[in-house]
Chains A and B, each alone.
Chain A
């Protein structure tokens, strides 16, 4: 009984206490009126800012004049938060008494990729991830006249020449060997299919493999070397979005592949196989050269990707291909219709293994190894040639972020190359044998920093050191660029750099190996980019030193190139139409190889222009486009003209058209594509070949006037969400 009473008393007291506690929680005790104004750095009011006391309900949004007002229930030390999209959040400790409190502040715009200057001199990029790029990866596939070839599409950009008789990118007065192709940081020794003389071949790699393409026309980063003119850096896709299989049937090939994405979405593996044979096509469309064996290609690739951690990624890519062709061409040295024979059998393997991981907060590590081997068997009437080219490579790059934008990178690279040529031949009935092999150990180191002085001004400074055992000489090439944002959408950019390159493999077999070739670039660029338009103009001067001179087997050759590149892209003015125009002005001369004097080389046209036009007819499910390219005539060597290399070919015109009909049927995505090159059938002459005596000549032309292509591509995605929903309906 007594106990019960006590408990009751206690309860009463407790309840009083409890009520008191409750009241204080409710915050009736003290209130503070908080008001103020929020401005941006230009002193303009920001409407819609969320101003509040951290961890409480108390706060308000700013009105169109940037003013706010609210009543805070608490007093004492609190944290005021100002939060608004696109601005850096402010958290400030203040002391509230019950007196009115004024809080005025300025908010800083947060870093935005679009507002930060980027180095653009000499660089044209295609990427989905970055916002300021000129092209998207899809643009490469949908450019008419390019036939789905990466290099074909890049040739519609300023700086590149329309060289139709041999493969490669001829950039700003440089020849094809001056452009290096790089996949995930690793050099590709043989990026193009082996080709017959005077017939350009395609690139080996499908544009669908890559999520990013950087085409540098000069002044590029110290990360890369051994390309005097240009670097084409390709970045492979990450994990696919879904498991899928593909099937392709075209007028020249069949192929298929399968790519599996594991359920945890951390790993994928896939393969594809393809076979191409041009015999049926050549039966339908007559070719100028006589093919003894129509070109055949059989090959495939393997890929494996694994996310090793939240930030780590391991990628493997392996490629193999066998190709075969035979061709007979009329000998211009013979008067009785004698034909030269050229048979080519090629096998090629390229493998690439890379690993990327963050080390702590600030560091990023990139490691890679690659191995490739390429064997050409060439047969002519008299000679049997076997030529092998192997490359093993290792690379590591470390980078560290400094502050929010600046970054420092350094790393090294090692390449072992083996080149061998064997000839079993006969000259005037006498057999002869040649065997020659060359090994080289190439190593390089680089360091480079992108220093953001402000968000609008960036300086890139770096240097690359290179050594080859062939040369036994260490060379250092400085590289630097500067970019400054002059307006919200415009920027100017400058670049300077020195670029060394080993003499072309073909000259390495000479008794005396000529030394490094060297180019020095000076570039100025202005660019304006918004969501729908891109305008770029670039002027450059390039100086060549130490070019290979075959007359005395030294590197005493020299030359220069200068010019203007303009690019305009517009996705808005004409509804549903995306077009770009590029114009290239080039003035270049060089004395190299066996040139008796400094002249404009045969791979340089003074004016080149392209118009690429793409239109999408949504109602017809049809995407179409055309590419028109014009180039002034190029010089060629005529032995009957005493002035060396002073003759010029006719101007070059080409109109390519393409179209694709797209259709989704259940989980199958189908594309029916067609394309035609040189639709109008303009006469295209790339140069002339002369007989030894100079009496007879033959024009170098494409093997056929036009190339027609029709293909059906099917992709079966296994997107399970679709099935689930279909089953539920």
Chain B
């Protein structure tokens, strides 16, 4: 009997850990679902900061998950759009820190590289004249990687569209150039299936919005 027990103990330990993990996992999914849902309705600065804080705490508890760090970075990236100057860099630095953590947990992840590209684009807005030349290609390279890692992900294309939309025509951008890219992204959004209830699934509404903007003269 003793022998049987010896054989069983590790099995049991495994079982208990799996069950524990599953329960933890349920808690993790539930909390994440709540916060990810809140992203859609949050625009206010302090609320976005609070959401970023929530994701930072989840990241601190769930060291094997890339999504909490990813979403914390997502919040900081969005915060750059309601500020200017030096503060943009501060938010970008913070977002990059989270993205590097996420990248180390889940390497070659298309979503993470899309967001990295978006952070690089956000840095251009600090001073487009002097920064465009440096961060434009950096952002482009990251976007290229994001596409290579997942050919079905519409977000790198959506990002390409926004970057063209905000680039003056003389630097190769403009509404006319942006529109077909947005349309391609929208097609991809139609078929895109997120991996889980908490996996990144943003951008479709904004994509529709931008297509309408492109038609405005």
Interface of A with B (CB < 8 Å)? 3, 6-7, 10, 14, 18, 21-22, 25-26, 47-50, 52, 54-61, 64, 81, 83, 85-86, 112, 114, 128, 131, 136-138, 241-242, 531, 618, 621, 662-666, 669, 717, 719-722, 724-725, 728-729
CB-CB < 8 A to B127: which residues of A? 136
Secondary structure class of chain B's binding surface, majority of residues: helix
What CA separation (Å) do A86 and B157 show in the bound complex?
33
In the bound complex, what is the Cα–Cα distance between A86 and B31 (angstroms)?
Answer: 27
Please judge, given known A-B contacts A7-B4, A728-B147, whether A128 and B86 are in contact too, CB under 8 Å: no
Residues of A within 8 A of B8 (CB): 7, 10
A571 to chain B, nearest CB (A): 10
Out of B85, B140, B147, which one reaches A531, CB within 8 Å?
A: B85
Q: How near does chain B come to A467, taking the closest CB pair, in angstroms?
A: 42
Contact check, B143 vs A721: say whether CB atoms are below 8 A apart: yes
11 additional contacts, CB 8 Å, given A10-B8, A136-B130, A618-B168? Answer: A6-B1, A56-B61, A57-B27, A61-B50, A137-B130, A241-B134, A531-B85, A621-B168, A664-B171, A729-B180, A729-B184
- A228 shortest CB reach to chain B, Å: 33
Closest residue to A10 on the B side, CB-wise?
B5
Q: Which residue of A lies closest to B140 (CB)?
A: A721
Q: Known: A59-B57, A114-B86, A728-B147. Is A48-B46 also a contact (CB below 8 A)?
A: yes
Q: CB within 8 Å of A: which of B71-103? A: 84-86, 90-91, 94
Interface-facing stretch out of B16-24, B104-112, B195-203, B209-217: B16-24
Contact of B130 among A55, A138, A720 (CB under 8 A): A138
- How many angstroms between the C-alpha atoms of A531 and B168 in the bound complex? 23
Q: Could you say which residues of chain B place their CB within 8 Å of the CB of A664?
A: 170-173
- State in angstroms the CA–CA spacing of A47 and B157 once bound together: 36
**B90 contacts A86, C-beta separation under 8 Å:** yes
Cα distance, A82 to B160, chains bound together (Å) = 37
Of chain B, the residue at the smallest CB distance from A723 is B144
Complex-state Cα separation, A401 to B144, whole angstroms: 39
In Å, the complex CA distance between A6 and B144 comes to 61
CA distance A454 to B57 in the complex (A): 34
Q: Are A662 and B50 closer than 8 Å at their CB atoms? A: no
Residues of A contacting B60 in the complex (Cβ-Cβ under 8 angstroms): 52, 54-56, 81
Give the chain A neighbours of B191 by CB distance below 8 A: none
Which residue of B has the minimal Cβ distance to A722? B140
Chain B residues lying within 8 Å of A48, measured Cβ to Cβ, are 46, 49-50, 53
Closest chain-A Cβ to B44's Cβ sits at a distance in Å of 11
Residue of A nearest to B9 (CB): A14
Nearest B residue to A725 by beta-carbon distance? Answer: B160
30 A-B pairs with CB atoms under 8 Å apart are A3-B1, A10-B5, A18-B15, A18-B19, A25-B20, A49-B53, A52-B56, A55-B60, A55-B63, A56-B60, A59-B57, A83-B56, A85-B91, A114-B86, A136-B130, A138-B129, A241-B137, A621-B168, A621-B170, A662-B170, A662-B171, A664-B172, A719-B140, A720-B144, A721-B137, A721-B144, A725-B144, A725-B157, A725-B181, A729-B184
Contacts of A128 in B (CB 8 A): 130-131, 134
Which of A7, A49, A50 is the most central at the interface, judged by chain B CB atoms within 10 Å of its CB?
A50
- CA of A721 to CA of B113, assembled, Å: 13
User: Chain B residues near A60 (CB, 8 Å)?
Assistant: 53
Give the distance in Å from the alpha carbon of A618 to the alpha carbon of B128 in the complex: 13
In the complex, how many residues of chain B place their beta carbon closer than 8 angstroms to a beta carbon of chain A?
57
CB-based nearest B residue for A244: B137
Closest chain B CB from A164 CB (angstroms): 30
Cβ-closest 6 pairs across A and B: A664-B172, A621-B170, A721-B140, A50-B53, A721-B144, A48-B49
Bound together, the chains give a CA A284 to CA B54 distance in angstroms of: 71
Q: How far is the CB of A245 from chain B (nearest CB, A)?
A: 15
With known contacts A59-B57, A242-B137, A719-B137, A47–B46 Cβ distance under 8 A: yes
Contact B137 A18 (CB under 8 A): no
B39 close to A (CB within 8 Å) = no
Report chain A residues within 8 Å CB of B129.
136, 138
B90 contacts across to A, CB distance below 8 A? 85-86
The answer, yes or no, to whether B141 is at the interface (CB within 8 Å) is yes
Residues of A within 8 A of B31 (CB): 57
Query: For residue A57, which residues in chain B have a CB less than 8 angstroms away from its CB?
Result: 27, 31, 57-58, 61
Nearest-neighbour CB distance to chain A for B171, whole angstroms, equals 5
CA distance A618 to B24 in the complex (A): 55
User: Which residues of chain A are near B53, meaning CB under 8 Å?
Assistant: 48-50, 52, 59-61, 83
In the complex, A721 Cα to B46 Cα: how many Å? 36
Given contacts A6-B1, A128-B130, contact A22 B16 (CB under 8 A): yes
Docked CA distance A25–B171 (Å): 58
List chain A residues, Cβ under 8 A from B144: 720-721, 724-725
Contacts of B173 in A (CB 8 A): 664
Is B133's beta carbon under 8 Å from chain A? yes
Let me know if B1 and A55 touch, CB within 8 A: no
Q: Which residues on A sit within 8 Å (CB–CB) of B138?
A: 241
Which residues of chain B are within 8 angstroms of A56 by Cβ–Cβ distance? 57, 60-61
Q: Which residues of B contact A669 (CB under 8 A)?
A: 171-172
Interface readout for B109-129 with A: 1 if CB under 8 Å, 0 if not? Answer: 000000000000000000101
Kindly state the separation between the CA atoms of A21 and B21 in the bound complex, as whole angstroms: 12
Nearest chain B CB to A260 CB, angstrom units: 15
Query: A26 CA to B21 CA in the complex, in Å?
Result: 11
Residue B12 CB within 8 A of the other chain: yes
Q: Is B194 an interface residue (CB 8 A)?
A: no
- In the complex, which residues of chain B have a beta carbon less than 8 angstroms from the beta carbon of A662? 170-171
Instruction: State in angstroms the CA–CA spacing of A85 and B53 once bound together.
Output: 11
Residues of chain A within 8 A (CB-CB) of B133 are 241
Question: Which residue of chain A has its CB nearest to the CB of B167?
Answer: A664
Most buried by B among A14, A136, A621, A669: A14
Q: Given the complex, which residues of B lie within 8 Å of A61, measured CB to CB? A: 49-50, 53-54
Binary contact readout B137-163 vs A (1 if CB under 8 angstroms, 0 otherwise): 110110110011000000001001000
Cα distance, A565 to B129, chains bound together (Å): 28
Measured between beta carbons, the chain B residues less than 8 angstroms from A26 are: 23
Q: Which residue of A lies closest to B1 (CB)?
A: A6
Known A57-B57, A722-B140: A6·B4 in contact at CB below 8 Å: yes
**A residues in contact with B157, CB < 8 Å:** 725
Q: Are B1 and A22 in contact (CB under 8 A)?
A: no
Give the Cβ gap from B67 to chain A, nearest Cβ, in Å. Answer: 14
Question: With A18-B12, A531-B85, A664-B172 in contact, is A724–B4 under 8 Å at CB?
Answer: no
